[in-house]
Structure 1
């Protein structure tokens, strides 16, 4: 698989002029008459994502104009350079040093690298031939590492469950750990019961043995600094269990391990950057399948923490596997605990597919994350741990209900459920979608990372690194 990288500097690189709509006329006045005329004929106005190539007298492209749009357009779209990259013919390109106000070099360069992503495991794809020379003033290694981590996340989510079951997800963790000198260990199948991870075992037991057996994968990295624990939902396929999903809802369930994929992408960023912290990653991996041993609506399960859970919907399995992993995570009292999961459809109803909803009781963490999300063009939205809804997750015959009736505030009640297993830890939870529904600049249709770049940028403030 190729990796995202910038082109080497070249005297033959084609100059790219980024032009805002507000200053397009001013820019064109300073250009040769042939350029002005060509721009007018082609309708180039500096609109967001516009792209115009200009040839020399021999017919070779000598420069390209990229539209940065108006301030209003930029509020509605991001990654203008990526939008142009998709339209440019093959060649090596280099940004000029004169850039419009508000043009963030690192974000736009990242967007260009993301426009190069192709998922080619099962069919050949035409690679992008438009390569960008690393712009002056960016941290090249950092941008390339962020892009590589995002490519990893996308590859994991895009791989169908036939090739990305619990065993394959474990292998992905082991490969990442080996790359960075991390330690990886796994508890599998019946050993989950002997080592007190009953909910993970219960959710995954119907999928069978071997590579399909449920498991808890742990990766440890770093020897000094504050402790950060990341927990990612790794349900590799979700049929809904005995509360079987309809076909239309089951079609995208290969992405139900998107929380694990996002956590691994974030871990890749952290380890590549060698942040001075101690990292622990926990991935409860399972398939929610249908067979004789499948768990049932009405069952009451006992968790690692000792809390009992009444199962009122087997399709609310993600919070069950996360509960055992969160209980383990809090036993070591980490300085910061973060979970990521494709957990509820309610979150999509609340904020749509593009925003990553997050929960935290820590005002400083919320402020740091919101700030970095804007800077990194990685949008998030804070949701409340609304305590008055606690009663909704307390059924009559057990400590907790995995699927409260009523249909309201589903993302909030799921987050409150998870918080019950964190022992008052400094905790942040993300209820992500992990999927881009259509091709967009820097975000091809398919699996996508959400909130990870924002988190990576916020961690130095959150952990005083």
Structure 2
């Protein structure tokens, strides 16, 4: 599925966007019949409230949609996008006193609302879409790339684990590399031990679907950005097995990998002047006779020993080896993304992407990108005072300390031990929308990718 705007030269109908505070002046500008129609139907300019206006021949000639108040717009991102499904098919263009940021939010939301996940419903009826012309002042190529990358992320997260294991994740990355002339190398199975990736191997060895490390490189000039995404294609919890309720969404445990792949698509589609590396440790965390056991002690690629106090805290183990490998090469930025802890969800809920960074320039750039990309993030602390919590005494590190507090913080501190680069940023995302929202249907969702895309030029001085 490819998101699309209407052709610039296509005949189109007007969609009037009217805020509640501008409703009186808008009414005064209308022909009497249209003014009476809006009054008779109770239109008050509420966000997303739609009225279809008939033409003289009885067809729909134009439409009016409410833009609400500043407060309602703050509470509901992409509030206009929900009307796309209610408009007749064909091309539409925006009318109204809108700033570029407002038009950008509407246009991006319109594209994101085109997403459908119908692969398992081949008979599902797909309605003809109402397409929006890209509004003046908006960057059509940028918005389309953002939506296309988001669609890839959603598809990957939504696909059941039976159809998306480590091999399928590898195939998807290879397809992406083929599209954009990138190179992929893969280290699989027992070769992980021979090449010194012991923790990736330990987590994935119990599955008949061999664990692997995926490594994609794109671009020949410019600063190097390394993205590391957690690719746990299903997480039973291992021998510390999850209850059934805890496993119900574990097909999304590769949401970090899905998000960095979506971000990579955006970067490559826009041909940004940088070099890109994507590292994905792809595993299944399941149970068999050779599964990783509680209290096992692993020696990581970096040489740090790790006591495994919970086999369900496996994401940080596979990321640790990948991050150590990433920072053996000089990168201008290292960014990890993972559906890592429930503690992050307890702290900020499913709509915010928590992130960690000690680099002020990166933080400032990301906060600006989050606002411009309508992709909310929230900074969390690398709190040094909790370092001792992840030191068990019997080994260098503990993968699941019994501290009882700050689970996302201690996981981030664990990962930071494997990164020899001060320009490091970690995201502890959720990757799932629990209920339908404008432009975000229930299911897989990318978090932080648009913010990062827009922040990269400032982070890198491009």
CA 46–116 in structure 1, closer or farther in 2 if over 3 Å, else same: same
Match of 2:170 in 1: 170
Q: How far has the Cα of 1:9 moved from its partner?
A: 3.8
4+ residue stretches of structure 1 with deviation over 3 A? 9-12, 100-103
1:117 equivalent to 2:115? Answer yes
Name the structure 2 match of 1:50. Answer: 49
* Cα distance, 1:103 vs structure 2: 5.2
- After superposition, give the CA deviation of every residue in 1:234-265 in whole Å (9 maximum; x if it has no partner): 00000000011011110100000000000001
Distance in 2 (alpha carbons) for counterparts of 1:202 and 1:255 = 21
CA contact under 8 A between 1:232 and 1:340: conserved in structure 2?
yes
TM-score normalised by L of structure 1: 0.97
Long gaps (5+) in structure 1: none
CA shift in 2, pair 1:282/1:387, >3 Å:
same
Q: Do the aligned residues in 1 keep the contact of 2:84 with 2:129 (CA within 8 Å)?
A: no
Give the whole-Å Cα distance in 1 for the aligned partners of 2:301 and 2:371: 38
Partner of 2:217: 220
CA contact (8 A) 1:203 1:317 kept: yes
Aligned to 1:205: 205
1:231 equivalenced with 2:242 (yes/no): no
| Secondary structure in structure 2 of the residue aligned to 1:271 | helix
Aligned counterparts of 2:400 and 2:85: Cα–Cα separation in 1: 43
Asked whether the 8 Å contact 1:20–1:47 carries over to 2, the reply is yes
Aligned ranges 1:184-203 → 2 under 5 Å: 184-203=184-203
Whole-Å Cα distance in 1 between the matches of residues 177 and 100 of structure 2?
38
Shifted more, 43-52 versus 382-391: the winner is: 43-52
Equivalent residues in 2 for 1:132-281, closer than 5 Å: 132-208=132-208, 212-281=209-278
The structure-2 alpha-carbon separation of the partners of 1:393 and 1:318, relative to structure 1 and needing over 3 Å to count, comes to same
State which of 106, 109, 123 in structure 2 corresponds to 1:108: 106
Does residue 439 of structure 1 match 2:436?
Answer: yes
Cα deviation digits, residues 195-243 of structure 1 (max 9, x gap):
00000000000112xxx11000000011111111000000000000001
What is the CA–CA distance in structure 1 between the aligned matches of 2:89 and 2:158, rounded to whole Å? Answer: 26
Q: CA deviation at 1:81?
A: 2.4
Give the 3-state SS of the residue equivalent to 2:36 in structure 1.
Answer: helix
User: d(CA) in 2 for partners of 1:128 and 1:147?
Assistant: 18
Per mean C-alpha deviation after superposition, the further-off stretch among 79-88 and 170-179 is 79-88
CA distance in structure 2 between the partners assigned to 1:440 and 1:60 by the alignment: 30
Question: Are 1:384 and 2:381 counterparts?
Answer: yes
Matched-pair contact (CA < 8 Å) for 1:308–1:400: yes
Please state how far the C-alpha of 1:127 moved relative to its aligned partner. 3.6
Shift of residue 23 of structure 1?
0.2
The Cα offsets for residues 95-133 of structure 1, whole Å up to 9 and x where unpaired, read as 12x333575222221110111100111114424521112
| Corresponding position of 2:417 | 420
1:406 corresponds to which of 403, 406, 410: 403
2:31 is matched with which residue? 32
Residues 372-402 of structure 1: CA deviation (Å, up to 9, x unaligned): 1011110000000000000110002100000
Give the structure-2-normalised TM-score: 0.97
Deviation at 1:91, TM superposition (A): 3.0
1:292 aligned to which of 284, 289, 294: 289
- Please list the CA deviations of residues 3-52 of structure 1 after superposition, one character each: whole Å capped at 9, or x if unmatched: 11112245642211111110011101110111111111222111111111
Preserved CA contact (<8 Å) 2:228 2:322: yes
